[in-house]
Structure 1
Amino acid sequence: MDRDLQSIQEARDLARRSKEAQRAFEEFSQEAVDRIVEAVAKKALENAEYLAKLAIEETKLGVYEDKVTKNRFAAEFTYNYIRDLKTAGFIKEDREKGIYEIAEPAGAIAAIIPTTNPTSTVIHNALIALKARCTIVFSPHPRAQKCSYETAKLLEEAARGAGAPPDTIQCLTIITAEGTDALMRHPDVDLILATGGTALVKKAYSVGKPAIGVGPGNVPAYIERSANVEQAVRNIIASKTFDNGVVCASEQAVIVDRVISERVRNEFIRQNCYFMTREETKKVESILFSPKGLPSPDIVGQPAPFIARKAGIEVPPDTKILIAELEDVGENYPLSKEKLSPVLAYYEVEDWREGCELCIKMLEFGGLGHTLVIH
């Protein structure tokens, strides 16, 4: 059987089993649900380092220590945030008006997982699904199938050990676009969680059932003249270099009031960032994106010195970020969009009004509804 057909059949099988498990799981009490969620969070936390190692080995993206942090954050912060929420039975009542709110599960969930966060996203989505008495089937990225599957497997074992029905957490093993599409469209899937590129999120929303999509960010960071320049630059560097810039909420451009631009520039240089010449910028542009205009898989999540060598430019070995000075935003300025690597665009503006307009222009170009930073 062809691989695409195998993938479609697996998607159908997992969706059916997920729905069967969900029908049993929705009858569980709040106490039983909370016991299962706690066990899954604990298992994820115990395996944060192991899963981070798997992700690095398979995807070759990002930084091991930062992936450990993301796994821990997904396990600990998510669990602590949802731990005391009531998600079963009567959750709110207004006796005076005679209104009662009863929690109802969304059902069986299909979750699409990106290669940039292949284990932490599985942890987060599994926890919120189980807390709501939903089951979940993951469709990982082809370049991260093994680490995403291993994460789902560990969490499923923990859930079953705490009393969950079999198949509450599942993961595709044969990854194709056709299989993912079949999973999202299957009648037994009630909700879609899609994390990835614009095309994927649009497809999820076009299926015709409830969907929650998290697409690309194109995050502008505006440093206004009243900012603490040293602190602002330090924060931007910490964010942009975290996991080598693969987080979609990391900064993609710095927009600076001209009156403080020289101070900002000097601070970036002092903290080991490199301002590229126009010629060097062109060289980086040529390797940073695929022919389709998307971040190149060979560059995503790689450190700045690696990107510089690949582009044929020389930078100090301790360079943290490559910075390109740009005049405008749009298709003629490729570095004005999401890059998923430690490369920043740099703009100067006269005042806060021009700064805000440029921020909005960036978001409209590639990050509407996502993230904006102001210092």
Structure 2
Amino acid sequence: MNSRAPGAVLSPSNRGTSPCGVRADASDVDTQVGQLIARARVAQRDFAAAGQGALDTAASAAAWAIMEPSRNRRLAELAVRDTGLGNVDDKIQKNFRKTLGLLRDLHGRKTTGVIAEVAGRGIVEIARPVGVVAAVTPSTNPAATPANKIVNALKCGNAVIVAPSPKGYGACALLLRFVHAELARAGLSPDLVQMLPAPIGKAATAALMRQADLIVATGSQANVRMAYTSGTPAFGVGAGNVASIVTGSADLDDAAAKIARSKTFDNATSCSSENSVVIESGVYDAMLGALHRAGGVLLDARQARALANVMWVGGKLSGECTAKPAQRIAQLAGLDDVAQRRPAFLMVEESGTGADYPFSGEKLSPVLTVYRARDFDDAMSLVARIYAYMGAGHSVGLHGADRAQAVRLGETLPVARVIVNQAHCFATGGNFDNGLPFSLSMGCGTWGKNNFTDNLGFRQYLNVTRVAYPIAADVPDADALLADYFGRFGR
């Protein structure tokens, strides 16, 4: 296998190359991307034939590349420095916990060869790799999301080529250096994991999408739409805009603490952070008090207008406030009196939804919109209106003691997940205290213009071939199957 050392000093013959070894100034984008694909295919064919042990080793190597403490810190620091999004300590925690959880989910999973036999049906299932995966990743998680996709792809016998965001390029390139170092220790080819060269542009990303065998796209809806129209099979994610409902049966201080932790983690870079909280009227004032004790500062109408003026410019969410601390956002809005109170997050009361009410949408910052609902039915109706504007398909939170209400939300709202009495941004993508699989990419179903509702995981990186043997014929009786229908309506 290829033993080219990652991070080699550039010689006159390779000066100007990217970490994947292809010249960044090549004029023919399709040819340039084609070179990456060709190298990936050669490496992937040998790798996929090497057996489950090689796949497990590669996945572990890629995981340790980001989990090792000194490398984890370097990646977190570079991510925050280059993107200006989030904070270092939380990114360190995210990089480690998300990867550790993924390793737990993958441990002992068979992902090549025969994976299931259904004797009574004469079916044998065989796991097969998809080939070369195009992994489109966002600036909000420029190390954690690529690592998650790389581990999943390798576990299933695939090669992967990452298309990072322009701001996240440096962190992704450093991650690949670490991955290549670990693959080299295991005697595996660095061509199994590559990335597009700088400068990252739409043309190169589109070319990668066209030439790969599968696309897994996380990030902007523009990238997701590009993936869906590329002609290549694709898994994309929907827009986030999570709302959580607080009912009269909730432990208010517990709910407030969890919402606050979720709303402030990594300065709300996660699509799973609460953007709105809908509170039943009977506990509205008490819950506002609990949120205040958890670090929130409620703005008055004048302050909310000043905040809106800096958060949305020309109708678009401003990068000046995205994933910044609440104190800094207050300063940008000219709310020095609020900033002096060192808020953990800001709160704005709202009653409307839609484009004319920007606080009803996703904010990607520690700013929480607060709604008052008459009762649980009114709360459901409010959330439905919020999701009719933005966030359909993703998930909804519920704080309360009535388990039946959680089921009602799952039966009624356009959501793929109902998160009960948990800090939403940790729980939605899998956590050690719930049963959802660890992921940084959440499918939102047809509600969110996606083709799946799962947390994106290893099964999306596999083909499954089914062998069907003959079994004893099982021909049903039509009269028996239609007996109920005939009994009610006749023949």
TM-score using structure 2 length: 0.73
1:122 touches 1:152 (CA, 8 Å); kept in 2? no
Check 1:283–1:7 CA distance in 2 against 1; reply closer, same or farther (3 A cut): farther
Q: Deviations over 1:296-354 (max 9, x none)?
A: 22211100111111111121342011111111110000111111000011100101011
- Give the counterpart of 1:12 among 34, 38, 45: 34
1:21 touches 1:165 (CA, 8 Å); kept in 2? yes
Are positions 1:288 and 2:288 aligned together? Answer: no
Where does residue 471 of structure 2 map in the other structure?
none
Are positions 1:31 and 2:42 aligned together? Answer: no
Kindly state the Cα deviation for residue 39 of structure 1 after the two structures are TM-superposed: 2.2
Are positions 1:207 and 2:230 aligned together? Answer: yes
> By percentage of residues, which structure has more helix?
1
Kindly state the Cα deviation for residue 27 of structure 1 after the two structures are TM-superposed: 0.9
Where does residue 342 of structure 2 map in the other structure?
318
**Residue range with higher mean Cα deviation, 343-352 or 94-103:** 94-103
Question: Which amino acid letter does the alignment assign opposite residue 225 of structure 1?
Answer: G
Matches within 5 A, 1:1-375: 5=27, 9-46=31-68, 47-174=71-198, 175-186=200-211, 189-291=212-314, 293=316, 295-314=317-336, 315=338, 316-375=340-399
2:65 touches 2:175 (CA, 8 Å); kept in 1? no
2:98 and 2:255 mapped to 1: Cα distance?
26
1:192 touches 1:210 (CA, 8 Å); kept in 2? yes
Question: Which amino acid letter does the alignment assign opposite residue 181 of structure 1?
Answer: A
Kindly state the Cα deviation for residue 271 of structure 1 after the two structures are TM-superposed: 2.5
Kindly state the Cα deviation for residue 290 of structure 1 after the two structures are TM-superposed: 4.5
Runs of 5+ consecutive residues of structure 1 not aligned to the other structure? none
Check 1:9–1:292 CA distance in 2 against 1; reply closer, same or farther (3 A cut): farther
Q: Deviations over 1:84-128 (max 9, x none)?
A: 110011111123432111111111000111110000001111100
SS at match of 2:151: helix
Kindly state the Cα deviation for residue 3 of structure 1 after the two structures are TM-superposed: 6.4
2:134 touches 2:162 (CA, 8 Å); kept in 1? yes
Question: Which amino acid letter does the alignment assign opposite residue 276 of structure 1?
Answer: L
1:96 and 1:348 mapped to 2: Cα distance?
55
2:32 and 2:302 mapped to 1: Cα distance?
50
Question: Which amino acid letter does the alignment assign opposite residue 35 of structure 1?
Answer: T
- CA-based RMSD of the aligned residues comes to 1.8
2:24 touches 2:197 (CA, 8 Å); kept in 1? no
Q: Percent identity?
A: 33
2:193 and 2:369 mapped to 1: Cα distance?
41
Runs of 5+ consecutive residues of structure 2 not aligned to the other structure? 1-22, 400-491
1:36 touches 1:163 (CA, 8 Å); kept in 2? no
SS at match of 1:41: helix
Where does residue 4 of structure 2 map in the other structure?
none
Question: Which amino acid letter does the alignment assign opposite residue 125 of structure 1?
Answer: K
SS at match of 2:134: strand
Give the length in aligned residue pairs.
Answer: 372
**Residue range with higher mean Cα deviation, 159-168 or 201-210:** 159-168
Q: Quick check: which has more Rg, 1 or 2?
A: 2
1:115 touches 1:141 (CA, 8 Å); kept in 2? yes
Kindly state the Cα deviation for residue 173 of structure 1 after the two structures are TM-superposed: 2.4
SS at match of 2:191: coil
